[in-house]
Amino acid sequence: MKAEIVFKYFPNLTDNQQYQLKKLEDLYKDWNLKINVVSRKDIEELYLRHVLHSLGIAKVQMFKPGSEILDVGTGGGFPGIPLAILFPESKFTLVDSIGKKIKVVEEVVEGLQLENVTPVNSRVEELDKQFDFIVSRAVAVMPTFVHWVKGKIKKESVHDRRNGILYLKGGDLAEELKNYKSAQTFELSDYFTEDFFETKKIVYLPMKFKG
């Protein structure tokens, strides 16, 4: 399953965006031989399980030029790198505490000549910056994640949707989200027809501010 699965759902990509997406597979296959950041099964279905899954966020929230997005626990660069390809005028910071994973991100970013991505080897709590949105793929249960990113979201929103968290999750989230009355859940199966997305969701959690 190649990059064409992405083009099916995002038909208005530029030639350069299509080129970058096609190049992802070779870059990840090459780096995965040196540093295992994606499982063998997943590397064979890279565009379904990683790229298109990451871009599900774009079906829920488009990012405006100049907006700043933080990808927490990015691993090998998901969802940040596919989103950075899709939104070249937005700025993405990809953070992970594991150095070898950020090394792969740095090399992929260089290979794609992505100028809107800053890879950071750090724990998110140590970042001294604020962002419009924080994205991630299920690195922790929501209460833990919210604690990690406290104080990292800008107060002023430039999008119609209030600044907050966009979290790729799966399964039954009722218990995990019971204390977040403002959370919204979007089913990825509403946007993508492949079986893989049947249980996959995006949770949007707007951040509350006092005053």
| Secondary structure element (H or E) that encloses residue 27, with its range | helix 15-34
**Cα dihedral 168→159→21→47 (10° resolution):** 20
Q: Is 56 annotated as a binding residue?
A: no
Tell me the two tokens of residue 12.
């208005």
Q: Is 73 annotated as a binding residue?
A: yes
Q: Is 115 annotated as a binding residue?
A: no
CB atoms closer than 10 angstroms to residue 16: 12
Cα–Cα dist 54/63, whole Å: 14
Amino acid at 49: R
DSSP, residue by residue, 86-153: H-TTSEEEEEES-HHHHHHHHHHHHHHT-SSEEEEES-GGG----BSEEEEESSS-HHHHHHHTTT-B
Q: Is 40 annotated as a binding residue?
A: no
Q: Is 125 annotated as a binding residue?
A: yes
Cα–Cα dist 39/154, whole Å: 35
Helices (H) and strands (E) in the chain, counts: 9, 7
* Sequence ranges of the binding site for S-adenosyl-L-methionine: 73, 78, 124-125, 137
Binding site: which residues?
73, 78, 124-125, 137
